[in-house]
Amino acid sequence: MPSRPKKMERQVVGGILRRFRNWLPRHGAGPPQDNLGEVVKEPERAQEHCLPNFAGGQHFFEYLLVVSLKKKPSVDDYEPTITYQFPKRENLLRGQQEEEERLLGAIPLFCFPDGNEWAPLTEYPRETFSFVLTNVDGSRKIGYCRRLLPAGRGPRLPRVYCIISCIGCFGLFSKILDEVEKRHQISMAVIYPFMQGLREAAFPAPGKTVTLKSFIPDSGTEFISLTRPLDSHLEHVDFSSLLRCLSFEQILQIFASAVLERRIIFLAEGLSTLSQCIHAAAALLYPFSWAHTYIPVVPESLLATVCCPTPFMVGVQMRFRQEVMESPMEEVGDEKDILPPKLQEDILESLGQGIKGSQTSEQINEHVSGPFVQFFVKTVGHYASYIKREANGQSHFQERAFYKALTSKANRRFVKKFVKTQLFSLFIQEAEKSKNPPAGYFQQKILEYEERKKQKKPKEKTLK
């Protein structure tokens, strides 16, 4: 549901937004205007990745939290509350303690984004979802959540196991949550030694494995292997939900809206579906990073966010559809005309070549992401040639010459608009700081494309 803002009819200055002003859910650290009134310093940004990329060696996680529903006094509503925290940090400096309190104060809302009207249940399908919080200093935390019913008999309320980490690797953390869930059926006491072992282990480099030894009562000692994908640029995403929920044409329209930084709302009931689809949609922008408001699942108390006049990418549960529809927005309807027609055809043709049932999630990710990476290779892959470096070390991007270098008029019209976006501006700012193009996945694809073009050129005939 892409849209562009109309004239604002009301300001979004609710107390709930002020409460979380230091931990706003933005995918990248956006400009001050995205912070709903907060004036912040614009932080450094990673050029190649929307979420942090790690070579290995860091800690897996910062916190394991259990968030439970506690009944409010004198009312029927429940309030999400942290009932377990590992590790407990002690002897923190005052500033560190205040930072921790702000972070832990924001998390319960995103573990139970679907409101406070709960009742004890005897059955509840488990849900795995995630959220991203970006601090005003650019530091980024990812919450990996598993919501389920605790062990026991009779009606009971669901609880959430939430792992807070600065590492984007959804497949690996989903496996960790599987292990946490298996242990929670026995006792909370069994979870502690597993998470302690995980905390002491170093996060593996791409393609490497870390093995943990864990004891489970009545089962004995188990060895758990956690392996990172060899190609780590898509390890933070799974395209399966996006493919299941949307057609190739709809995915292309969402991509078109995103590259022009419009307001995009995803509607679905399941938390897993919403978070996975939005992470996947944002990943299609690689090597660019969405730098605006980014909330995979908007909590009920933050629905006013969809009134924000700046760009956003958010997920809203279907039960709140009416509230969203009452917001001052309009559907644009020109998504099919944003991208160059020939390049649209190339993307759809590549996507339509089919995904075999035997393919791994990494292969599916590459199949879906590849055509969009090639789109950027063909339209802006020549950017490095138009960064002129002065003798004094200063760099300057020659914008006009850059888009005029494109021979296709359709490509040139698109790029002329795209260079005005924050997506492109932030990318170029980072490129100007680097003496050489980064040796990442995108640069590799640029070199491969240039080599294919050379091979296609007809060989000159030598006249004797």
Q: Model confidence over 340-380: pLDDT tens digits?
A: 999 999 999 999 887 766 577 888 888 999 999 999 999 99
Domain ranges of the chain: 57-201, 239-338, 346-351+364-461
Peptide bond into 287 cis (omega under 30): yes
Of 54-63, 194-203, 330-339, give the range with the top mean pLDDT: 194-203
pLDDT per residue as tens digits for the range 289-304 = 998 888 899 998 888 8
Q: What is the mean pLDDT of the chain?
A: 81
Pick the CATH number of 239-338 from 1.10.240.10, 3.10.20.310, 3.90.1150.10, 3.40.50.11500: 3.40.50.11500
Helix/strand/coil (H, E, C) string of the chain?
Answer: CEEEECCCCCCCCCHHHHHCCCEECECCCCCHHHHCCCCCCCCCCCCCCCCCCCCCCCECCCEEEEEEEEECCCCCCEEEEEEEEECCCCCCCHHHHHHHHHHHHHHHHHHCCCCCCCCCECCCCCEEEEEEEEECCCCEEEEEEEEECCCCCCCECCEEEEEEECCCCHHHHHHHHHHHHHHHCCCHHHHHHHHHHHHHCECCCCCCEEEEEEEECCCEEEEEEEECCCCHHHCCCCCHHHHHHCCHHHHHHHHHHHHCCCEEEEEECCHHHHHHHHHHHHHCCCCCCCCCEEECCCCHHHHHHHHCCCCEEEEEEHHHHHHHHCCCEEECCCHHHCCCHHHHHHHHHHHCCCCCCCCCHHHHHHHHHHHHHHHHHHHHCCHHHHEEECCCCCEEECHHHHHHCCCCHHHHHHHHHHCCCHHHHHHHHHHHHCCCCCCCHHHHHHHHHHHHHHHHCCCCCCCC
Lowest mean pLDDT among 115-124, 164-173, 246-255, 392-401: 115-124
pLDDT of residue 90: 77
Confidence of residue 205 (pLDDT cuts 50, 70, 90): confident
Average pLDDT over residues 303-316: 85
Confidence of residue 329 (pLDDT cuts 50, 70, 90): low
Average pLDDT over residues 168-188: 87
Lowest mean pLDDT among 25-29, 401-405, 433-437, 449-453: 25-29
Confidence of residue 463 (pLDDT cuts 50, 70, 90): very low
pLDDT at 413 over 60: yes
- The C-alpha atoms of residue 384 and residue 406 are separated, in whole angstroms, by 14
Q: Are strands 220-227 and 293-295 parallel, antiparallel or unpaired?
A: unpaired
Q: Do residues 295 and 25 touch, judged by C-beta distance below 8 A? A: yes
pLDDT of residue 57: 52
**Higher-confidence position of 246 and 133:** 246
pLDDT of residue 89: 79
Lowest mean pLDDT among 128-137, 275-284, 362-371: 128-137
Q: Do residues 418 and 441 touch, judged by C-beta distance below 8 A? A: no
What's the alpha-carbon Rg for the chain, to the nearest Å? 24
Residue 459: other Cβ atoms inside 10 A: 6
Cα torsion through 457, 458, 459, 461, rounded to 10: -150
Looking up tokens 């609880």, which residue turns up? 159
Instruction: State the fold for domain 57-201.
Output: Beta-Lactamase (3.30.450)
Lowest mean pLDDT among 107-111, 129-133, 306-310: 306-310
Residue 38: is it exposed, middle or buried by C-beta count within 10 angstroms (0-12/13-18/19+)?
A: middle
Strand partners, 144: 130, 163
Q: Do residues 282 and 259 touch, judged by C-beta distance below 8 A? A: no
pLDDT of residue 394: 85
